[in-house]
Amino acid sequence: MIIELNQNIMDSNDSRAEEIRGILAKNRVVMINIISSPGSGKTSLLEQTLEKLGAHFKLGIIEGDVNTNRDARRLERFGLPITAVNTRGACHLNSTIILKALGKLPLDNLDCIIIENVGNLVCPSEFDLGEHAKIAVSSVPEGDDKPQKYPMLFRQAKCLVLNKIDLLPYVPFDRQVFYRDIDNLNPKLPVIETSCTTGEGVDSWIEWIKGFITNQPRRLNQIDEGFSNFRRPERSR
C-alpha cells in the first residue's frame, strides 16, 4: 500500500508537470531548476547570475525554502519578479507548488524563470517540475564524493557548477575522484568551476546559461535536445 500511494503521488506530480510544460511552451518561457545541498552557495551564484544575465533576458525567480524569505529578500535589489515559496518542512518543491507560483509571475513578459529549490540533493531530484533543465551545484567544502553518493541529480543535470573553488587549498577535495565519478555517471555533463567570492568562472557559467536559453526549443512540437555545445574549461586534476 505504501508503494501504491507513492506511485499515486508521483503520477499526480507528473501530470501537473506536463501542464506546466504546456504553459511554458505557450508563453515561450524557459525554466531552469537549480538544486544543491544547503550552503553550497547557490543563492550567491544566483545573485551573480541575475546581475549579469538580466541585461540579456527578462527573468523571473521562484525562490524555494523550508522557512523564511531571507533568500528572496536578498534578490529583491534586482527589481525582478520573485515568488517566494515556503514548504513548511517539506524537503523539495513539487509541480503543484510551481504551478501556483507561475500564476503569480508575468509569463507573457519573461524569457526565463529560475527556480532555486530547497537545499537538498535527494528529494528535489525525484520531482519533475516541468523545467527545461536541472542544474546541479556542488561546492568544494562538501567533499568530492557527492556525485557517487547522490547519483540521480548528477545523471539528470544539464550542467554542473562546482562552486567555492577558492577554498581548494584549504580543504581535502580530490578533483581526480570528483571528475572520475562525474564521467562515470554522465560523461557529457558540462562542469563549470566557480567562485562567487573571487568571480572566477562566473563568466563561463553565464556563457553556458545564455547559450542554453537561446538554443532551447520553447514549443511543444520541438524536440528538446538542450544545449550541448559547451566545452568543459581546462582544469588541473
Residue 134 lies in domain: 2-215
**Residue 225 maps to a domain:** no
**Residue 230 maps to a domain:** no
Question: What pLDDT does residue 208 have?
Answer: 96
**Residue 226 maps to a domain:** no
**Residue 133 maps to a domain:** yes
**Residue 206 maps to a domain:** yes
**Residue 179 maps to a domain:** yes
The answer for residues whose C-beta is within 8 angstroms of residue 181's C-beta and 6 or more apart is 144, 145, 147, 148, 154
Question: What pLDDT does residue 89 have?
Answer: 58
Question: What pLDDT does residue 110 have?
Answer: 96
pTM of the model: 0.86
The answer for residues whose C-beta is within 8 angstroms of residue 225's C-beta and 6 or more apart is 217
Question: What pLDDT does residue 226 have?
Answer: 42
Question: What pLDDT does residue 219 have?
Answer: 45
Q: How many domains does the chain have?
A: 1
Question: What pLDDT does residue 218 have?
Answer: 52
C-alpha to C-alpha distance for 225 and 227, rounded to whole angstroms: 7
Contact between 89 and 70 under an 8 Å Cβ cutoff? The reply is no
Grid cell at residue 39: 550552503
Query: What's 72's domain CATH number?
Result: 3.40.50.300
Q: What is the pLDDT along the chain (237 residues), one digit of tens a residue?
A: 333 334 455 678 899 999 999 999 999 999 999 999 989 999 999 999 999 999 999 999 999 876 667 777 888 999 999 998 877 656 778 999 999 999 999 999 999 999 999 888 888 888 999 999 999 999 999 999 999 999 999 999 999 999 999 999 999 999 999 999 999 999 999 999 999 999 999 999 999 999 999 998 654 444 344 444 444 554 443
C-alpha to C-alpha distance for 154 and 139, rounded to whole angstroms: 14
3-state secondary structure the chain: CHHHHHHHHHHHHHHHHHHHHHHHHHHCCEEEEEEECCCCCHHHHHHHHHHHHCCCCCEEEEEEECCCCHHHHHHHHHCCCEEEEECCCCCCCCHHHHHHHHCCCCHHHCCEEEEECCCCCCHHHHCCCCCCEEEEEEEHHHCCCHHHHCHHHHHHCCEEEEECHHHHHHCCCCHHHHHHHHHHHCCCCCEEECCCCCCCCHHHHHHHHHHHHHHCCCCCCCCCCCCCCCCCCCCCC
**Residue 122 maps to a domain:** yes
